[in-house]
C-alpha cells in the first residue's frame, strides 16, 4: 500500500510531494519506545531546559515552587504532544503535510512557516550556547577570558562571534546525516549527560554545605519578601511559559512519530521520556542555582557561565559534553522540523537538506544573544510570546484531527491539489480565520511584554490574557475552527467516509 501511494503521489509534476515528505514505509518504521525515551532525554538534558527552572529561581521562586512550575507545564504539554503525534504514527506523514488537512494544501504553508521561524530562533539560541561552551572551554585551558573587544552593532565580543560561527559550521556537518544519526547520537549521549548533571549537583551541595541550606533559601513570594502576595499571579504565567517551551515540538512531533514501529511505542516513549526527566533536570537546576546564591551571593542561571567560574579538569570534560549535547539536541529539536517545513513550502526545489541550510542561516540573522540577555526576556517574552503564535495552530490541528475527522485521514488527498483538502483554491478559510482570531487577543500583551514604547499604556485585560497565551490561543482557535467548519459544511465535505 505504501509503495502504491508513493507511485501515485510521487509522480512527475506533483509539486506537493518529494521523497522527504512522502509517508513512511513499513521498512522505515523502526523507532521503539526506548528510542523515543532516549530522544526526549537527550533533548531535555540541555542548557536551555536547565535555564527554565534556574530562571525561575532568579525571578524569585523557591526551589520547590520552580520545580512544580516546570513539572506542571510539561505534564500539560504532553497532552497535545500525544494527540498530534498520533497522526504521525498512524498515517506516516510529517507535520507540514498533516497541516494540509485543516489549513488546505496551500494554507498549510502559513502554520509551517510560523513553526519554522520559531524553530530557527531556537536553533540560533542553541548555537549561541554551544559556541559559548567552546569559548569557555578554551578560556579555561589558557587561563583567561577570550571574549575580546566588542563588535560594533552586535553587542558581543570578537571571541564570542568567532566561537558562535565555529559552532554554527560544526553543526552543518550533521545536516546531511539524517534522523537516524540523530537517534543514535541521542541514545548514546543521554546517560552521559545525566552523569554530568549529577556531578554539578555534587559540587553545589559540597560548596553550599548540604541540601538543607539550599532548600531553606527563602522565596521572594514569602511574607515580607519583595514579591509577597503575588505568587499565584506569577505562577500561572510561569506554567504557561514552561508549556510554551515545547510548543514547537508539540506541533512537529509527527516528524518523529511517523517512524514509530507502533502507536504504543511513541506513547510509552514520550510519557517516559518527557515529564520525569524534565522534573529531574529542574530539581538539579534549582539545587545548583540556589547554591550559587549562597556561594556567590547571587543566582547564576547560565550553566556555561557557572562552569567558567568553577574551573578544573572536570569542567573541561563537562564543557565538552555540553558542546556535544548541544549539537545533538539542536538538530533533533530545532533543525528537523523547520527543514521539513521549508521543504513543504516548495517541495520541487527545497529538499530536507536545503531546508536545514535555510534554518541555519536564519538562526544567525535573529541574533540569539539578544534573547538571552535576561530571564525576563527569555521566559516571559520569548517562551510566552511564541506560545501565543503556536498555541492556535495546536488547537486547530487537535480539533480537526480528533473532533471532526475522528483520527481518519485521506493520505493520498494530502498530496493532491484537487483532493478533498483543496477547500478554496488550496486555502481553508475557516482555519485561517480561527488562527487569526486565536492570535489576536494575545498580541497587545506581547507588545507590552516586549517593551514597545507605543504599547506602554496597555494593561488589563490584555496583559492577563497574555499571561496564559498558549492556552488562550489554543482554546479560542479550536472553538472558532470547529464552529466555522460545521456551520459552513466544510467538515462534511472533507470528511473521510
Residue 415: is its pLDDT beyond 70? yes
Q: What is the pLDDT of residue 322?
A: 67
What is the mean pLDDT of the segment spanning 323-348?
Answer: 75
Q: Give the CA distances from residue 470 to residues 373, 439, 442, 474, in Å, rounded to whole numbers and listed in that order.
A: 23, 9, 9, 6
- pLDDT for 53 equals 84
Q: Looking up cell 501515485, which residue turns up?
A: 8
129 CB contacts (<8 Å, ≥6 apart)? Answer: 47, 48, 304, 322, 326, 372
Q: Which residues contact 138 (CB under 8 A, 6 or more apart)?
A: 146, 163
d(CA 379, CA 54): 11
Q: In 289-317, which positions are buried (b, 16+ CB within 10 angstroms) versus exposed (e)? A: bbbbbebeeebbbbbbebbbeeeeeebee
442 pLDDT higher than 80: yes
Could you tell me the end-to-end alpha-carbon distance of the chain, in angstroms, rounded to an integer?
Answer: 19
Q: Give me the chain's average pLDDT, please.
A: 84
Residues in the chain: 497
> Does the pLDDT of residue 481 top 50, yes or no?
yes
User: Residue 170: what pLDDT?
Assistant: 80
pTM: 0.84
Residue 460: phi and psi, rounded to 5, are: -65, 150
- Following DSSP, what letter does each residue of 243-274 receive, concatenated? HHHTHHHHHHTHHHHTTBSSHHHHHHHHHHHT
> How much helix, strand and coil, in percent to the nearest 5, is found in the chain?
75, 0, 25
Other C-beta atoms closer than 10 Å to the C-beta of 408 total: 13
Q: Which of the residue ranges 48-52, 277-281, 375-379 would you say has the lowest mean pLDDT?
A: 375-379
Higher pLDDT, 2 or 67: 67
Q: What is the pLDDT of residue 7?
A: 46
Task: Supply 123's cell numbers.
Answer: 536553533
pLDDT at residue 1 in the model = 42
pLDDT band at residue 312, thresholds of 50, 70 and 90?
A: low
Per-residue confidence (pLDDT) for residue 225, from 0 to 100: 83
**Which residue has better confidence, 184 or 387?**
387
Residue 10 has pLDDT above 70, yes or no: no
- Cα torsion 416, 418, 424, 430: sign: negative
| Distance separating alpha carbons of residues 345 and 113, to the nearest angstrom | 8
Distance from C-alpha of 282 to C-alpha of 289, rounded to nearest angstrom: 10
Q: Please compute, for residue 145, the number of CA atoms within 13 A of its CA located in the half-sphere on the CB side.
A: 8
Mean pLDDT of the region 219-229: 85
In a 3-state reduction of DSSP, which class is residue 164? helix
- Asked whether the beta carbons of 125 and 48 are under 8 A apart, the reply is yes
**14-46 pLDDT per residue, tens:** 678 888 789 999 999 999 999 999 888 877 877
Report whether pLDDT(120) > 90. no
Amino acid at each position: 500500500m505504501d509503495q502504491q501511494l508513493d507511485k501515485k503521489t510521487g509522480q512527475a509534476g506533483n509539486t506537493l510531494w518529494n521523497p522527504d515528505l512522502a509517508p513512511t514505509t513499513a521498512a522505515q518504521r523502526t523507532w521503539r519506545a526506548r528510542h523515543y525515551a532516549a530522544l526526549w532525554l537527550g533533548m531535555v538534558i540541555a542548557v536551555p531546559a536547565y535555564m527554565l527552572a534556574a530562571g525561575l529561581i532568579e525571578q524569585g521562586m523557591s526551589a520547590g515552587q520552580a520545580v512544580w512550575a516546570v513539572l506542571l507545564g510539561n505534564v500539560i504539554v504532553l497532552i497535545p504532544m500525544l494527540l498530534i503525534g498520533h497522526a504521525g504514527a498512524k498515517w506516516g506523514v510529517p507535520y507540514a503535510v498533516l497541516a494540509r488537512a485543516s489549513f488546505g494544501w496551500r494554507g498549510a504553508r502559513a502554520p509551517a512557516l510560523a513553526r519554522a521561524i520559531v524553530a530557527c530562533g531556537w536553533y540560533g539560541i542553541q548555537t549561541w550556547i554551544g559556541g559559548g561552551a567552546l569559548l569557555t572551554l578554551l578560556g579555561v585551558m589558557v587561563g583567561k577570558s577570550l571574549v575580546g573587544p566588542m563588535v560594533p552593532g552586535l553587542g558581543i565580543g570578537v571571541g564570542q562571534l568567532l566561537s558562535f560561527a565555529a559552532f554554527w559550521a560544526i553543526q552543518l556537518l550533521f545536516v546531511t546525516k539524517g534522523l537516524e544519526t540523530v537517534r543514535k547520537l541521542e541514545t548514546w549521549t543521554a546517560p552521559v549527560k545525566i552523569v554530568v548533571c549529577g556531578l554539578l549537583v555534587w559540587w553545589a551541595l559540597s560548596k553550599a554545605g548540604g541540601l538543607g541550606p539550599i532548600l531553606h533559601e527563602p522565596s521572594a513570594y514569602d511574607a515580607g519578601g519583595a514579591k509577597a502576595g503575588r505568587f499565584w499571579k506569577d505562577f500561572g504565567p510561569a506554567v504557561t511559559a514552561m508549556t510554551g517551551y515545547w510548543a514547537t515540538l508539540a506541533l512537529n512531533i509527527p516528524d518523529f512519530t511517523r517512524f514509530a514501529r507502533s502507536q504504543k511505542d511513541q506513547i510509552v516513549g514520550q510519557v517516559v521520556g518527557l515529564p520525569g526527566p524534565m522534573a529531574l533536570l529542574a530539581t538539579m537546576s534549582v539545587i545548583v542555582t540556589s547554591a550559587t546564591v549562597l556561594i556567590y551571593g547571587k543566582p547564576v542561571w547560565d550553566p556555561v557561565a557557572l562552569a567558567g567560574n568553577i574551573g578544573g579538569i572536570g569542567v573541561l570534560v563537562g564543557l565538552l559534553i555540553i558542546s556535544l549535547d548541544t549539537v545533538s539536541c539542536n538538530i533533533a529539536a530545532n533543525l528537523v522540523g523547520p527543514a521539513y517545513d521549508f521543504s513543504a513550502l516548495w517541495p520541487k526545489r527545497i529538499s530536507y537538506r536545503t531546508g536545514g541550510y535555510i534554518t541555519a542561516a536564519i538562526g544567525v540573522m535573529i541574533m540569539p544573544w539578544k534573547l538571552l540577555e535576561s530571564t525576563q526576556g527569555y521566559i516571559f517574552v520569548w517562551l510566552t510570546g511564541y506560545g501565543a503564535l503556536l498555541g492556535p495552530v495546536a488547537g486547530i490541528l487537535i480539533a480537526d484531527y480528533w473532533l471532526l475527522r475522528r483520527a481518519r485521514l485521506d493520505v493520498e488527498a494530502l498530496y493532491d491539489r484537487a483532493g478533498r483538502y483543496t477547500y478554496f483554491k488550496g486555502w481553508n478559510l475557516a482555519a485561517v480565520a480561527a488562527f487569526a482570531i486565536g492570535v489576536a487577543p494575545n498580541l497587545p500583551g506581547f507588545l507590552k511584554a516586549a517593551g514597545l514604547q507605543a504599547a506602554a499604556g496597555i494593561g488589563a485585560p490584555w496583559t492577563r490574557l497574555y499571561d496564559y497565551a498558549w492556552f488562550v490561543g489554543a482554546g479560542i482557535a479550536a472553538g472558532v475552527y470547529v464552529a466555522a467548519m460545521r456551520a459552513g459544511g466544510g467538515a462534511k465535505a472533507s470528511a473521510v467516509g
